[in-house]
Structure 1
Amino acid sequence: MHMVPVVSDNVACVGYDRATRTLRVKFHSGGNYDYYDVPVFLYEAMLLPHPWRRVGRQIRAHLYRRVAA
């Protein structure tokens, strides 16, 4: 999955798999999480500056799991 750096206090970079609708979020703290069945518009919102403030709550509503770095 291709990861894209973002301007954020919390999030370092994000990636998205359109086939599975999986959003991967890498946090500055070192945690990497996959969020499942995420619509593409939420991924696109994550590419804007400070995305977690904007759509973090909506993304956390999806099933997720921590993944290895």
Structure 2
Amino acid sequence: MNRVPVSSSNLSSVGYNESKQVLEIEFNGGRVYQYFDVPKRIHKELMNAASHGKYFHRNIEDNYRYDQIK
């Protein structure tokens, strides 16, 4: 999945597969997680958030099933 770099103290890059509703996040330090059944709206809001890290912690982290892939 292609990820886009983001300016964040926590997140390094973000990717999204709309057809599968999979959000992929690379954290600073290199860990990569995929979050499942994430609506397009959540991805859009994350990318437009003033703070990507705060949005992630408030709206994604404990709300979606995930797997660490790297």
Which TM-score bucket, shorter chain as reference?
0.7 to 0.9
Find the counterpart in structure 1 of residue 66 from structure 2. Answer: 64
- Within 2, Cα distance between the matches of 1:5 and 1:25? 10
Deviations 1:22-69 (A, max 9, x none): 00000002110000000111111222342120242321210000002x
Output the TM-score relative to the length of structure 1.
Answer: 0.86
- For structure 1, list consecutive stretches of 5 or more residues without a partner in the other structure: none
SS in 2 for 1:26: strand
**Are 2:45 and 1:13 aligned?**
no
- Within 2, Cα distance between the matches of 1:45 and 1:52? 12
Find the counterpart in structure 2 of residue 25 from structure 1. Answer: 25
Matched letter for residue 47 of structure 2 = L
Q: Is the 8 A contact 1:37 1:62 kept in 2?
A: yes
Aligned length: 68
Find the counterpart in structure 1 of residue 36 from structure 2. Answer: 36
The percentage of aligned residue pairs carrying the same residue is: 29
Find the counterpart in structure 2 of residue 2 from structure 1. Answer: 2
